[in-house]
Amino acid sequence: MTVFHAEQRRRHRPPRLPEPRGALSAAVVAALRGSGRNQPPAPDTCAYGDDLQLALYILYELHYQGFEGVDDDLEWDIDLLNRRGELEDRFLGALRADVPVDGARTAEQALDELQLEPVDDDAGVSHFLRDEGSLGQLREYAALRSLYHLKEADPHAWVIPRLRGRAKAAMVAVEFDEFGAGRADEIHAELFADLMEDLGLNTSYGYYVDAAPAEVLATVNLMSLFGLHRALRAALVGHFAAVEVTSSPASRRLAEALRRVGAGPAAVRFYTEHVEADAVHEQVVRHEVVGGLLEQEPHLDADVVFGVRATTHLEERLTARLLGAWRHGSTALHVPTQLGDTGR
């Protein structure tokens, strides 16, 4: 076995179950370990809080890579699916309450608004990291974002069989690029793992979940929530469009940040790759995916807006968490850890 193959195998093996953060996540972990099958009463916990978001994250991961020592058949366990449904209802209910859509704003208008740069140039995470972020803060950012980027584009693939015509064809075209255009070493998730290796981080899938605060878990859970429900297909399209519209300028700033702190070429490459690619993807998603969907199903316009606004809402919560910590010289991690630890 070559060193390359050994590294790929380490990157892709299922993660360990996370440490619980409360009654909800403890019950889910116990069920997956076979030590608790009864449905507990749902505690009155915050829909955006650590306990609920971790429980939901764990249940969603059964549909992706699973967990070390957990039976794959539990993906479709009826008790776990019912438990997931209850948590999803609370998460989705909180989002609908916080980002109501009244029909006054169209999908086109909502996406146009995302292209407006903030008046305060240091309002965003990428602005902060470009201008003053330390290598340590960039490593924290990469570790936290790895919960999505090591499965980049996977949650959005759920929507493909739920689209038709122009929207489906365009979505597949964008996803084809995300998955390396037929080259395994160009898959964006692999490029992010290369970035992590360049920064001295552990590249194992899901390794940093215990370090991730609820705000990070919520941004990842949103994609699975939208992707796994046909009724939310337009919200998933809105989410994807929001990501593509904002990705190119943010990626340019992050590439500049990594160059400034002396990061290696693999770290810089991940973001420079996204500067050009996502500028193209933005146009395809806006005009063909969103446009094609709404041409066939115009009644879903408000759902696209909801997807855009829910994405922005959760990203703003994450921004407040990260910048609130970093500007006070603290860590943004849920549990301070040695990010360079490559053991398991």
Predicted structure pTM score? 0.93
125 and 257 assigned to the same domain: yes
> Residue 269 is part of a domain; what is its CATH number?
1.20.910.10
In a domain, 65, yes or no: yes
Q: Could you read off the pLDDT tens digit of each residue along the chain, which spans 344 residues?
A: 445 555 666 677 889 999 999 999 999 999 999 876 555 556 668 999 999 999 999 999 999 999 999 999 999 999 999 999 999 999 999 999 999 888 778 999 999 998 776 655 567 999 999 999 999 999 999 999 999 999 999 999 999 999 999 999 999 999 999 999 999 999 999 999 999 999 999 999 999 999 999 999 999 999 999 999 999 999 999 999 999 998 889 999 999 999 999 999 999 999 998 887 767 888 899 999 999 999 999 999 999 999 999 999 999 999 999 999 999 999 999 988 767 654 44
74, 156: one domain: no
Tokens of 259: 């160059």
Measured CA to CA, the distance from residue 77 to residue 290 in angstroms comes to 34
- Could you tell me if residue 343 is inside a domain? no
Instruction: State the residue range of the domain holding 54.
Output: 16-98
The last residue of a domain, from among 77, 98, 119:
98
List for the chain the helix, strand, coil content (%; round to 5).
70, 0, 30
- The pLDDT, as a whole number, for residue 39 is 59
Cβ contact 257:130 at 8 Å: yes
Of the three residues 65, 98, 131, the one that is the final residue of a domain is 98
- Whether residue 51 lies inside any domain: the answer is yes
The answer to whether residues 134 and 250 belong to one domain is yes
Q: Which of 98, 131, 153 is the last residue of a domain?
A: 98
Q: What is the pLDDT of residue 7?
A: 60
pLDDT of residue 343: 46
Residues 266 and 194 occupy one common structural domain: yes
Q: Is residue 240 part of a domain?
A: yes
Query: Do 24 and 130 share a structural domain?
Result: no
Residues 150 and 81 in one domain: no
Same domain (yes/no): 112, 30:
no
- Specify whether 61 is located in the same domain as 120: no
Give the C-alpha separation, 152 to 145, whole Å.
Answer: 10
Question: Is 23 in the same domain as 144?
Answer: no
- Do 120 and 71 fall within a single domain? no
Angle at 17 between CA 147 and CA 313, to 5 degrees: 35
Q: How many domains are contained in the chain?
A: 2
- Buried b / exposed e across 82-93, counting CB within 10 Å, b at 16+? ebbeebbebbbe
Asked, for residue 1, whether it belongs to a domain, the answer is: no
Considering the domain architecture, whether residues 146 and 46 belong to the same structural domain is answered as no
11 falls within a domain: no
Domain-located, residue 7:
no
- Do 243 and 273 belong to one domain? yes
Burial of 77 (0-12, 13-18, 19+ CB in 10 A): middle
Q: Look up tokens 């759920």; give the residue.
A: 158
35 occurs within a structural domain? yes
